């Protein structure tokens, strides 16, 4: 079954709803420049409303930047100091063209998974822009690490994306928002239903 991460959560109500609808992980942003940034204190409040097996993922530039949050999982963009932080690590690989797949061979040491996102100028992530999913399908064959697909996913296209790429998980933020930092209950429900419909189709 494809796992689901709802990212860019900024408040407890959205976190609770996403969890109840079936999200496996809730993502909060620990990059101060982001419009979806949450403080460690707010992240802890969000963690408190999650069910026991739902993971809190902190998105940060480096692993070191996320340590203060004491997260279950750290999603990072840049290699930082190597140390045992006690959390699972997901390394982000930003894909623009096929040549970017070469980054997978030289990936930061120690991650438990790879998140593939769109390569956009002046933005780490959360742009709402997609990339060529056929490249994600190729990436899935280049590594044994679980692939998490992100970048421009929406309730309308997620079923197609999952059926094509067969990722371990999908990650959405902008595609289920009413406005920056606020999720839409209707879009959350449709997105999760789209993933589950893909799972059924793949199993047949």
> Catalytic residues, which ones?
7, 117
96 alpha-carbon distance from chain centroid: 17
Q: CB pairs under 8 A, 24+ apart, for 193-197? A: 193/155, 194/155, 194/156, 194/158, 194/159, 194/162, 195/2, 195/4, 195/158, 195/159, 195/162, 195/170, 196/22, 197/159
Query: What is the pairing mode between strands 177-179 and 182-183?
Result: antiparallel
Q: Using CA atoms, how far apart are residues 169 and 7, in angstroms rounded to an integer?
A: 12
């Amino acid at each position: 079954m494809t796992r689901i991460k709802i990212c860019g959560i900024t408040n407890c109500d959205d976190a609770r709803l996403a969890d109840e609808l079936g999200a496996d992980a809730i993502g909060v942003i620990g990059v101060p420049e982001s419009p979806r940034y949450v403080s460690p204190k707010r992240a802890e409040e969000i963690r408190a409303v999650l069910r026991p097996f739902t993971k809190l993922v902190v998105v940060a530039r480096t692993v070191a930047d996320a340590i203060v949050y004491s997260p279950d999982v750290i999603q990072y963009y840049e290699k930082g100091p190597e140390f045992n932080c006690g959390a699972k690590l997901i390394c982000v690989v930003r894909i623009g063209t096929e040549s970017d797949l070469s980054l997978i061979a030289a990936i930061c040491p120690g991650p438990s998974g790879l998140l593939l996102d769109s390569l956009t100028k002046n933005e780490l992530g959360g742009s709402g822009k997609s990339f060529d999913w056929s490249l994600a399908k190729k990436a899935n064959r280049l590594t044994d690490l679980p692939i998490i697909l992100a970048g421009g996913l929406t309730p309308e296209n997620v079923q197609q994306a999952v059926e094509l790429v067969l990722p371990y998980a999908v990650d959405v933020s902008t595609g289920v928002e009413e406005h920056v930092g606020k999720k839409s209950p209707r879009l959350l429900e449709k997105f999760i239903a789209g993933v589950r419909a893909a799972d059924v189709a793949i199993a047949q």
